[in-house]
Amino acid sequence: MTSAIKAWTHSMRTSTSFMTIAVAAQLLVAGPAGATGLTGVTPQPNPNGELAKYYIDPASEPQLSSEQLTELLRKKIKYVFVIFNENRSFDNEFGTFPGANGIYSDGYQNGVDKVRAPEATPGFTQQVTDEPDGVSFTLQPFRVGLKQGATAVDSVDHSHGNFVTINGKPTLWSGLAYKIDVGSDGVAKMDHFAQDEYNRHSKPAAANAPKAIAQSVQYSRLVMSYTDCETTPFAWNWASHFVLFDNIYATEDTPSTPNAIAMIAGQAGETQWVKHGPNGNDTDKPTAYPAGTISEGVFKGVPYKAGSTLGVPVYNDPQPFYSSQFDATTGEARAPSSPSDSRPDADVVINQTYATVPLTLMGKSVNDVLSGNLSPNKSDLADIQKDMAYIAGLNHMPVNWRWYQEGYGLESTDAPGIAAPASGKLYTGNGTPSHAGYVLHHNGPAYFGYLANTPAAAGNMRSLTDFFTDTAKNTLPDGGVFYIRGGFQNQLGMRTFVGSNPDLTKDEVDKVALAKNGDDDHPGYTDHQITESTMAKIVNAVAQNPTLWSQSAIVITYDESDGYYDHVSPRILSYGPDGLPIARGVRIPLTLISPYARTHVVAHAEGDHNSVIETINAIFNTPALSSLPDEAEALKQGNSPEFNRFGPAGFEQKYLGPRDTPSPITDSLLSGFSPKRLAGDAEPLPASFAVTPESVVDSLPHYGTNACKVIGITPENQLQSIATVIPEATTVGAQVPVAKFNGLPGTLPDRN
């Protein structure tokens, strides 16, 4: 931006008339899709240094159709890597990224910052009240950094929806459905994030009420906090050098498991619900044990233990059927469980039976692969019979796929003499898989019997160490789709950095470090910068291999928001059997890295995990899941009075299943690729744009305390001279003392 434009913009920001125009503009463009008025791809400000050499103004790019882009992509891209992280909302990580639709701006248009007033930002000011205890306070978004321990914080409420009885009526009290607060007009108001946290953590036993109130206030504060490039400099650097998407959402308005499933299926059981009801108990052609209480007995000739299962759609974080107590598979073919992610008997979901990306990638070999399914009478395949015939009939060559996840198999940390990174004394490996870092409910393919219970398919699920071994030794399959996930531990020997928080005692530092050494970015057990180090190791492994880099696209994204505040209203696409919205969820980050990507731009394509699937479909010429016969039938059947009744009056259930067919509602990621680079009319982006120096990767905090300056990015709040206020100590209600902001209200409750 020129100095003249900067001066003009600054003067306009202070003008009352400008504020009025900004509010009016936001009201005009606000809608169910959370639109900002910006479409397509827009520049980020100030492409300096090496960025300037490779920067191509989006306006100067040729306007190619999706078919033309797809044709070029298929000639260039052979490998798609999906780094699939956990639980961050877009505003929590990128809310002040310059050029994006964030907390204080809609982005940039024609070089001018489209500043947005707080009054025009949904949920910017949130009221928290507790009338019985006389509690009333307001909160607004505020920045936290290293001094507030922003790299390692606690998790907030990301359950689907919870009811309590008030005046004899069930009332939505907390959960994501409560947080986004869908109004009678079908638009989410995004204004209950803070109240949700207060509701969820207040009022245990009366004797603990003051402590409960203090903890509730701290959680209410935490959910409104956000970070910037000081906390996540690698993520911001990749977003600056490549493409940041700012209009991508969680597929399901739920916690992790449904969205881990949706990453490969575009749904979390809606098809199965439509076909077999919420309990999946179609006795004529059963596809799994029915939901509900199960007595010990025999199913299809296989004995099982007593217990209970959950139905569909998948709402929360149950364990998969295979590897649970009901799984009669024995020996090496049995799916692994996790000692760190145990679930009670009642928290096992029925076998998932609908189509997935791994199914379509099987191509003409689909029947051969699934002939080895181990379920009695091949019951795992009951709901994909037409799909299999259709896929086989296309006669496409199979495409490789892998799901690499921390702790699934033998990890480097399982080797003899290797100590746990957090304490150095927690465990030592004995050369056999411990599965200690394995988050079972994050493994999407594990929920599908035709994948988990078919050895030829299950062999594609591997450990995180296997990924690094495959890339180092060039044993990665020759092209394909590769999902990569972290877990409860990190393999880098890193200990969370909380030493910059001057208030913590040594014992508290040790407690936090022991609790938060995971590397999938999930608040509660991970560290932001340890996760970034793991991500950098993954990206470096690809970028430093010339063969891989020259043929790759890397997608870095998340499953869901963890329940952290985001201001953009998701488009509400479907409702579940409980009458609550199940699609879409809160906005999540997504970055596209590739030598053929645009550079220093923000893409505004609207979508969710189906956008990733749609992109895979385009690159590998696989059929859309929504076009497969079994899924297409369910999508048609779902839009009927039987299912429309779960939504508000007049609502049509058009999306009870995958939605990866190109449409304005779900766009692909193709807009993130540069037509000039794909056509050979501009240089591919160098690997150096993606590589993070090992010396930086291996040290904490990353780039010391000047990360934003080192990577050359000024956050939007600084560009607008906005100083956010970190909550200080106060009293609430009947003189209940609350300490200054504590990002660890559950881990360090004495600091509440």
Q: Which two tokens stand for residue 553?
A: 């696209």
What whole-number distance in Å separates Cα of residue 692 and Cα of residue 712? Answer: 15
- Burial (CB < 10 A; 0-12, 13-18, 19+), residue 648, is middle
DSSP secondary structure string, 189-242?
A: ----HHHHHHHHHS-SSGGGHHHHHHHHHHHHHHHTEE--TTT-HHHHHHHHHS
Q: How far is CA 528 from CA 131, 172, 228, 694, in A?
A: 37, 32, 11, 17
E strands, 249-300, in order: 292-294, 297-299
Collapse the DSSP code of 23 into the 3-class scheme (helix H, G, I; strand E, B; otherwise coil) and give the result.
helix
Q: Where are the domains of the chain?
A: 31-125+247-726, 126-227+727-751
| pLDDT of 2 above 50 | no
Phi, psi of 32 (to 5 degrees): -60, -25
Phi, psi of 86 (to 5 degrees): -120, 125
The per-residue pLDDT for 26 is 27
State the pLDDT confidence band at 421, using cuts at 50, 70 and 90: very low
State the pLDDT confidence band at 283, using cuts at 50, 70 and 90: very low
Is the preceding omega at residue 313 within 30 degrees of 0, hence cis? yes
| pLDDT of 10 above 80 | no
- Burial (CB < 10 A; 0-12, 13-18, 19+), residue 575, is buried
The per-residue pLDDT for 342 is 74
The helix or strand, by DSSP H or E, that contains position 555, with its residue range, turns out to be strand 552-558
| pLDDT of 371 above 80 | yes
Question: pLDDT by residue (tens digit) across 457-514?
Answer: 999 999 999 999 999 999 999 999 999 999 999 988 888 877 667 788 889 988 998 8
Closest CA to 356 of 460, 448, 459: 448
State the pLDDT confidence band at 649, using cuts at 50, 70 and 90: very high
| pLDDT of 62 above 60 | yes
* Most distant CA pair in the chain, distance: 78
Closest CA to 41 of 57, 28, 54: 57
Question: pLDDT by residue (tens digit) across 149-176?
Answer: 999 999 999 999 999 888 889 999 999 9
For the chain, the average pLDDT equals 88
The per-residue pLDDT for 734 is 80
Question: pLDDT by residue (tens digit) across 94-119?
Answer: 999 999 999 999 999 888 989 999 99
pTM of the model: 0.92
What whole-number distance in Å separates Cα of residue 184 and Cα of residue 580? Answer: 13
Cross-strand pairs, 751: none
